[in-house]
Amino acid sequence: MNLILLGPPGAGKGTQGHRLSERYNIPEISTGDILRAAVYKGTPLGQEAKSYMDRGALVPDKVMIGIVRDRLAQDDTERGFILDGFPRTVAQAEALARLAEEQQRPIEHVISIEVPLEALLQRLAGRRQLEGRHDDTDEAVRHRLEVYERETSPLVDYYRRQGLLRCIVGIGTIDEIFQRIAVVL
């Protein structure tokens, strides 16, 4: 099973991705994690990504696709994978589609976890208090939600047109949301 999780910050992608990974015994691949791993290992793509990250710039699509390509080539992805945080733009989705075609591993499911804005703001404020996340300030949260709306939400229409999108109500307990996802898979 090759799966993409979409949703704004605070929607629960990481939590649900973790649970799906355990249930289906396939890796959850977080863009942030694979970027940090590539930088830590000092791979050529990791070094290139680091040069952008050190300047506070976005890592270009070409570098991100290369890092994702390297990660999907690892043995633990043979049975499938869950992508969390990638793609973030339609251009990245198109590049991922070409990569999936090259590797003969099509994306089979795209789950969009839908959560109203007020609930997202409450969750992220709670996460900031509980986990001490400094990147969850009110200003930073609103900025990340604006970036998501502008750059990532167009993926919903992109994948809907392909017949891959399944929208899940992201309100309720973690178990309730997980069951909704499991039903559509």
Question: Which amino acids are annotated catalytic?
Answer: 13, 88, 127, 133, 144
Within its chain, how far is the Cα of 129 from the centroid? 23
Find out whether 119 and 126 touch, Cβ atoms under 8 Å: no
Long-range contacts of 21-27 (CB under 8 A, 24+ apart): 21/82, 23/182, 24/79, 24/80, 25/79, 26/1, 26/76, 26/77, 26/79, 26/80, 26/81, 26/82, 27/76, 27/77, 27/81, 27/82
**What is the DSSP track for 67-98?**
HHHHHHTSGGGTT-EEEES---SHHHHHHHHH
Of the candidates 144, 146, 168, 164, the residue with the CA atom closest to the CA atom of residue 155: 164
Residues 6+ apart with CB under 8 A from 167: 112, 114, 156
